[in-house]
Structure 1
């Protein structure tokens, strides 16, 4: 079920939609956190589905201190024509296909969809090449052929993105629905993946700055670390245990 703050605000036509996969190190979700915080995006709704573990908690962003977070939230930047669908829980596997189908229906009218992800660093086979790989639908390739020809990423040809979670599955469903879509993932290691999140956003912006518009008058926009990252690894260990 989709809960919107204002139904008049919700229209995907002409928008770029960013969706993170539930992947290794939560790198894609952290990248979306950076994007939402840096662009001070407005939460316009929440998504509830049997495939999502229900959670509820305090605001994740300092620019929106009175909001509350849930399992899946939708953020919008009207000026940039950008929507981010952010997940905060793992998916329940037996309902994942249903959730993906619903997301495909939801973003059917979007101008483009970018699925962000990550893969285990030890799965990278070619040393010295770019740490990024991607796959695109043909209609996405046609729209961004020049930009894709200039990137140094490798085009992914495999059947499994190890550690990539639901990213490739979602990509194929969107592709089958004729939605212009790209899956972009980075090889990462487990641990503090906040740096990987920043690098993923940088690469995506370098592909086509109109996606994210992270540059203002020729200068790079400063990425803002969200307040929720202060507890990225939980609370500090209490001294009472020593």
Structure 2
């Protein structure tokens, strides 16, 4: 359930929603962090659900001491009105037995809110790629039929590579084994995509094959890929995009080795 922090509640009709899937390397969440920090988006509410591990923490996008003490929750919604864009940032793992319930909650909220399209940023295990997926770029996309009707030309101009379907049993040539969509390490990505297809929801998935570790470079790769389509940040000529790193990333790998150890 969406709980607004504003009165009256925000109107999302016609907005683009961008959200991460909690997946390998947390690449989608890191990419969303870059968007929120760079565009200085405003928090307008949160998703109240028992499907996420409960947690709270300080403001991950603090710019001064005054706003650093704000409390933030596992699933929050931000908007940038000028860009007609909303962000759902998910900061906690989904409880495994409630994954389906969480997907249903998301689909219901997205439909009720009137978003024009939804983009899910995700990732998948690089070591479980099929032979054909080893070639070329590690970036892939999926799009539901309802969004394809509107965005087919834009996607064609981008020359992106669609996520391949792979054999259910690699190595077997039995004609009865149809290929399937397989996103190992992708969390709810596949389920949310399939649910969206079933209810005719305009949704796209952008994902990156990666490995666990320092996934900051992967986040930049994914958000730059998204930027090619949505043009969130104008790219200076011959220079990389200037995404702003949030203050919370200073503790991404802990606070360092305590000097007392030595």
Q: Give me the TM-score of the superposition, normalised by structure 2.
A: 0.85
Out of 204, 211, 228, the position equivalent to 2:248 is 228
Residues 224 and 241 of structure 2 are in contact (CA less than 8 Å); yes or no, is this contact kept in structure 1?
no
Instruction: Compute the displacement of 1:171 (Å).
Output: 1.6
Out of 135, 141, 146, the position equivalent to 2:148 is 141
Structure 1 alignment gaps of length 5 or more: none
Distance 1:32 1:62 in 2: 16
Instruction: Compute the displacement of 1:114 (Å).
Output: 0.5
SS in 1 for 2:101: helix
Distance 1:230 1:177 in 2: 41
Residue in structure 1 matched with residue 259 of structure 2 by the alignment: 239
Residue in structure 1 matched with residue 162 of structure 2 by the alignment: 155
Out of 78, 86, 90, the position equivalent to 1:83 is 86
Distance 1:91 1:222 in 2: 31
Residues 76 and 83 of structure 1 are in contact (CA less than 8 Å); yes or no, is this contact kept in structure 2?
yes
Are residue 120 (structure 1) and residue 139 (structure 2) matched? no
Out of 193, 198, 205, the position equivalent to 2:220 is 198
Instruction: Compute the displacement of 1:22 (Å).
Output: 0.6
Distance 1:152 1:96 in 2: 33
Structure number with greater Rg is 2
Residues 117 and 202 of structure 2 are in contact (CA less than 8 Å); yes or no, is this contact kept in structure 1?
yes
SS in 2 for 1:222: coil
Q: Give me the TM-score of the superposition, normalised by structure 1.
A: 0.92
SS in 2 for 1:144: helix
Distance 1:227 1:135 in 2: 32
Residue in structure 2 matched with residue 186 of structure 1 by the alignment: 208
SS in 1 for 2:218: helix
CA offset digits 1:140-180 (Å, max 9, x no partner): 11111112113343212342201111111112222222110
Structure 2 alignment gaps of length 5 or more: 166-179
Residues 168 and 183 of structure 1 are in contact (CA less than 8 Å); yes or no, is this contact kept in structure 2?
no
Distance 1:217 1:107 in 2: 34
Residue in structure 1 matched with residue 31 of structure 2 by the alignment: 31
Distance 1:40 1:106 in 2: 24
CA offset digits 1:1-23 (Å, max 9, x no partner): 43211142422211000110010
Distance 1:208 1:237 in 2: 41
Residues 208 and 2 (structure 1 numbering): CA distance in 2 closer, same or farther, change over 3 Å?
Answer: closer
Instruction: Compute the displacement of 1:123 (Å).
Output: 2.4
Residue in structure 2 matched with residue 102 of structure 1 by the alignment: 105
More displaced 10-residue stretch of structure 1: 38-47 or 121-130? 121-130
Distance 2:162 2:7 in 1: 38
Residues 28 and 117 of structure 1 are in contact (CA less than 8 Å); yes or no, is this contact kept in structure 2?
yes
Instruction: Compute the displacement of 1:65 (Å).
Output: 3.5
More displaced 10-residue stretch of structure 1: 217-226 or 175-184? 217-226
Distance 1:49 1:144 in 2: 32
